[in-house]
Structure 1
């Protein structure tokens, strides 16, 4: 049961309704300005983690924060979790720079993410 290794949760995305207001709060909380600052995504790199703010939940219409588990082989890990009872939510897609993401739900409907850097 190890088609893909796990490197932990290193990315946490938060849907926000007011990007400017959220950016002020997260900048104060994290004690730093964002490394990525655009109209569709604001991202912070803090202690080896990526904390992202996604206006209106982005194209995937997130309604709550989503933790992304970093994996070495996203297709293999997605196959493992769906075979074990997870349900595919958003298929694997490239979000830029060769970074692949996908989401699935656990049996209780919690959304979990997978992320693979190439």
Structure 2
């Protein structure tokens, strides 16, 4: 089961310029502002800027579906023909992420947060 699309990650080459653009667009300051990642929260949406995204193979924004069980969801996607791009990985605070590419070449991200 998903909680919907709540996160979009953009690969960026110039994080300072991208941060300025998204600050102007969203009208909020980032809640995470690090050299390796800048994150914004606005209207229930998480928008992330990843300066390493291109080197990870990202060619454009990647939507992340928030799921209850990332391993089960990933297994289902792989059984349906998806290809693993990033296996399940903990990225801090118990948050797990993974991503796949579908048969059309689209990237699909998954996020599982720890229960609060």
Give TM-score scaled by structure 1 length: 0.92
Unaligned residue ranges in structure 1 (runs of 5+): none
Query: 1:60, 1:94 → 2: CA distance?
Result: 16
2:34 equivalent in structure 1: 38
**For the Cα contact (< 8 Å) 2:12–2:54, is it kept in 1?**
no
Q: Say how many residue pairs are matched.
A: 114
- The one-character-per-residue Cα deviations of 1:57-115 (angstroms, maximum 9, x if unpaired) are 17634221110000000000011111111111110000111000000011011111000
1:10 equivalent in structure 2: 6
Give TM-score scaled by structure 2 length: 0.93
**For the Cα contact (< 8 Å) 2:70–2:111, is it kept in 1?**
yes
**For the Cα contact (< 8 Å) 1:60–1:90, is it kept in 2?**
no
Unaligned residue ranges in structure 2 (runs of 5+): none
Query: 1:98, 1:67 → 2: CA distance?
Result: 20
Over aligned residue pairs, what C-alpha RMSD do you find? 1.2
**For the Cα contact (< 8 Å) 1:87–1:104, is it kept in 2?**
yes
1:90 equivalent in structure 2: 86
> Runs ≥4 in structure 1, deviation > 4 angstroms?
none
Alignment of structure 1 residues 15-26 onto 2, 5 Å: 15-26=11-22
SS at 1:24's partner residue? helix
